[in-house]
Amino acid sequence: MRALLDTHVLLWWFTDDARLSAAARATIADEANEIFVSAASAWEIATKARLGKLESVPEAAVRFVELVDADGFAHLPMTHLHALRAGAYAHPHRDPFDRMLAAQSEIESLVLVTRDPAFASFDTRTLW
């Protein structure tokens, strides 16, 4: 399986948070799966760190590359195709990070690992 982690899933993985579902945990831990982390998550984590909203993982922004690489995850850059799709979604969901993750999941044919029900309105497959 090729999967893209939503930002909260990535942070919960880093901290071994109990809120991570069994299916999500098993998918991420399975070395046969290719796990991707979006540049949008780096952007979201840096934004939350700047705003003081990352009490559970305060070093996540500074150590982002190190933490992602340590788990063997693949970095997924944002491209103009992702940006065009994210901006073109017709529904009113306004979160730019969610819109980008949905676009990347759709374009790259990745299953999005997320607990967020907002993704039900996007054209993307999810796993929780």
Domains contained in the chain, number: 1
Q: Which domain holds residue 72?
A: 2-127
At 83, which CATH number?
3.40.50.1010
Distances, alpha carbon 87 to alpha carbons 3, 26, 98, 121, in Å: 22, 32, 11, 15
Give tens-digit pLDDT for 48-63: 999 999 988 888 999 9
Distance in angstroms (rounded) separating the CA atoms of residues 3 and 111: 5
Residue 93 has pLDDT above 90, yes or no: no
Mean pLDDT, the chain, whole residue set: 95
Residue 102 has pLDDT above 90, yes or no: yes
What single-letter amino acid sits at 39?
A
Give tens-digit pLDDT for 67-90: 999 999 999 999 999 999 999 998
Residue 105 has pLDDT above 90, yes or no: yes
Q: Tell me the two tokens of residue 43.
A: 């952007």
Distance in angstroms (rounded) separating the CA atoms of residues 13 and 25: 8
